[in-house]
Structure formats: structure tokens, C-alpha cells
Structure 1
Amino acid sequence: MSKVLARCVPLPKLSRFGWLMGLYAENHARLQRLFEPADLACGGYVSSIGDGLDLRIDVLARHAYTVELRMSYGLVDPQTGLFDPSANLRLYNDARQVEATHCYAGRRWQDVIGMFPPPERILDHRLRMNTFLGKWLQYLAEQGHGVATLRPASQVGIETAA
């Protein structure tokens, strides 16, 4: 019995970059399931579930393999005039990933990580932004937002800010 050794097999570690790429893929699946944004034309859309807090989705640009989006509520920060919270997203159709390029939740990225951050801080910030996006998309799904609640903003009487 003393000759039996406990063999410890090390598990492969997922790098922070690998974790970020996984978040991109998860967020793509969530966003696609919710709103099918790859099929939306440029313009503004509103998802209303009757709770008084409508979700705005602006399709800013469409390219061959990407779609640029902005998601926000109709709430405006009185100090900056920006929608709060909001997230600018880049949808990669070919890679099936969604990247949160900018998130505004009370503070700008310069205030969070500084003007000339080291690469590690940028990666950490991207992890936080995309984790926030994943939680927000999950919350929206739980609240009942989806393709069935999405209408062009012109039908709802809301102007879009491109």
C-alpha cells in the first residue's frame, strides 16, 4: 500500500486572454438569442416590456463581417449627457463573438484606467466590461426582453442619437 503514490495531474490553466475570448463567445450567443442583431438594419430600436425602463439598441454601422451597436436605457447622465448605463458593442459575424468596446456606467474609461495604462490593466478592464455585458444580457433575458419586444424607434416615437 505504501507503494501507491497519489498522482497529481495538473489541470490546464486558462489564460486571462483565453477567458476574455470565452466571454466574447458567450456574449455573442446571449445577444444573438435575445435580439438577433446580425439581421437588424442600421437605425434605432427599442425593446419595451412595460416596466417603464425601455432598452435602446442603435445599430450604428454594418460592415462585411462586423456590426457596430450601442445598447442603453433612455436614462441620460446629467453631467455628461451620455446614456447611463450604455455599452458600445462590436459583433463579429464570422467569428461569432461580441466585444464590448466601451461601457459607460457613471465613469469614462479614462477615469477608470488612466490615459496611458499598461497592457495588463487594459486586459483587466476589457474583462470587467465584457463580464458586465454578460450579466446585463442575462438580466435582460430574465426580464423578458427579446426579439418579440423589439420595435424600430420610429414606430415608438423615439429619435435615435447616432
Structure 2
Amino acid sequence: MSEPAPLLDRPRLAPRHLAQLIDLYERNYLLLVRLIPDLDDLPYAQALSRSQSDCPLHLQVSARDRYTLTLRLSYEFVDEQGLRRQPDLWLRVYQDAGVVEALQCEQRPPWRALDERDPAARHYLSAQWRRNVLLHKWLQYLLESGHGFGMSARPRLLQNTVFEEKSDVVCPGKQPAHGG
């Protein structure tokens, strides 16, 4: 698997064309395959990756279709407000096309972004660009921090089918908010 070419040090806030956004989707797919080598045939619905230098990373598969996979990647933090998940990214993997996009609840079909004169299309491209640049940088960071969900790394399976409601997870070098 080839390594994706690095993004510019300071990527533009929005792409000029849909093709630039799709290129980012392809780069993110290459990074995601490095993080989850068994992406084409995941044998688990949830897993936990631990790293010596980073918070535990949660993976949840929420939907499997013939050519697509919907995933959730998230850290869990415990602070004075309770359990928080951040970043909490939902991803759609298009396995046949070799692309992944960071999703949001309210989506605008990509073909609507083809008319670059439409202000709504520019807004859609800009929002997708920001989300997917965030995904790109986070995936790079996760890989550099030693995270991975490959079977050779023997991911730790979560017992419940949903994320656990309580957690005592504290990032390395940080004290828990509840004083314990």
C-alpha cells in the first residue's frame, strides 16, 4: 500500500473544485487502511486501540453494505461534565471507489456541489473540506501515535454493542477530573 502524499502545510480552507475534495477522500482512505488493515473484511463491530502516548481510540462499525461501511472513530474523555467523545467522527467508506469521507448529519449530495457559482455549493465544499482535512490530520496523528486495529495488533473488543456509558479513561500524563 502506497503512502499518501502529504497535504500542504497550510491547506486552503476550501477547495476550488470537487476534484480536490475527492483527492482528499482518496488520501484519507489510504491512511484509514493503514489504521485498519482489515477494512475490507472487518471481523468485529467494535474495537479499542491503545497507544503508549495517546488516549484510547474507539472504533464502532454502525453499518455494513455491499460497497460501503459506516464507522465511528472517537476518543472518550472523562471530565467534570462526565463522559465526552471528541473528536467523534462518523465516516463513510466507499470500498469500491477507495475513498472515505467524514460525515455530518445534514448532508448535501456531492453532485449538487458541481455548480461552483452556487453559494450553497461553495458552502458545502467548504464544510466538507474542513471536516475531511480534520480527518486527514487526525488519522496521521493516530498512526504516528501507534494506534491500529489490525488483527496482528489484536484489538481489544468491547463487550457491549454500544459505547460504554461510563469510563475511567484518562489520557497519559493527565489527571482524572473526578480526583481519582
* TM-score (normalised: structure 2): 0.65
1:114 match: none
1:9 match: none
Q: How does 1:1-162 map to 2 (within 5 A)?
A: 15-36=16-37, 37-41=39-43, 43-51=45-53, 53-75=55-77, 83-102=85-104, 118-146=120-148, 147=150, 148=153, 150-154=155-159, 160-161=162-163
Which ranges in structure 1 are unaligned for 5 or more consecutive residues? 1-13, 110-116
> Of Structure 1 and Structure 2, which has the larger fraction of its residues in helix?
1
Q: 1:52 to 1:123 in 2, by over 3 A?
A: closer
Whichever of the two has the greater Rg, that structure is 1
Distance 1:82 1:123 in 2: 28
Q: CA deviation at 1:50?
A: 3.5
Q: Which has the higher contact order (CA 8 A, sep 6+)?
A: 2
3-state DSSP class of the match of 2:127? helix
Q: CA deviation at 1:160?
A: 2.5
> After TM superposition, where is structure 1 displaced by more than 3 Å over at least 4 residues in a row?
76-82
1:3 match: none
* TM-score (normalised: structure 1): 0.71
Q: Give RMSD over aligned pairs.
A: 3.1
Which ranges in structure 2 are unaligned for 5 or more consecutive residues? 1-14, 108-118, 165-180
Whether contact under 8 Å (1:45, 1:57) holds in the other structure is yes
Whether contact under 8 Å (1:47, 1:149) holds in the other structure is no
Q: 1:47 to 1:25 in 2, by over 3 A?
A: same
Distance 1:101 1:77 in 2: 26
